[in-house]
Amino acid sequence: MEFVLHPNNNEYNDWNEVIFSSCDLKIDPYILASKAFDSIHISTANAILKFTHEKVTGYSENIFSENSTWDFDIREGYEETWFSSNPYRNYIYKFLISKDKVIIE
C-alpha cells in the first residue's frame, strides 16, 4: 500500500511522489494514515484544509477517521527488465479531495 501525490488526480502524469508505503496489506488506510502522519494541511485557492487525528477543518470528512471514504483499486502488470519480466500487484487506496466536500468559512 502506498501514499502517492498525483497532481489533478492524473495517473499518467510523469510526476508522482510516493510519500509512504507499507507491506501490510491487511491494515485499513485510515489507520496507516494515522501511523504515517500526525496532521495533513492542504492549501487551495479558496480554502485551507487541516486534518488531525482529533478534528478536521475546511472539509466534511477526516482522512484519519474510520468513517472516511477511500477509493480502492488493484493494479497488476509486469515490470520488464533486461532479462526477465516480473509480475506485480499494487493495492491502492485513494482519499480524494472533492470540491463538494470543501467547507469555505
Using one digit for the tens of pLDDT, what is the confidence trace for 35-89?
Answer: 889 999 988 888 899 999 999 999 999 999 999 999 888 889 998 988 999 998 8
Looking at residue 84, its pLDDT comes to: 92
Which amino acid does the sequence have at 33?
A: A
The total number of structural domains in the chain stands at 1
Looking at residue 1, its pLDDT comes to: 47
Q: CA dihedral defined by 57, 61, 64, 69, rounded to 10 degrees?
A: -160
Task: Of 1, 71, 80, 66, give the one whose Cα is nearest residue 34.
Answer: 66
Looking at residue 45, its pLDDT comes to: 81
Segments forming the whole domain that contains residue 78: 2-101
Q: Is the pLDDT of residue 31 over 80?
A: yes
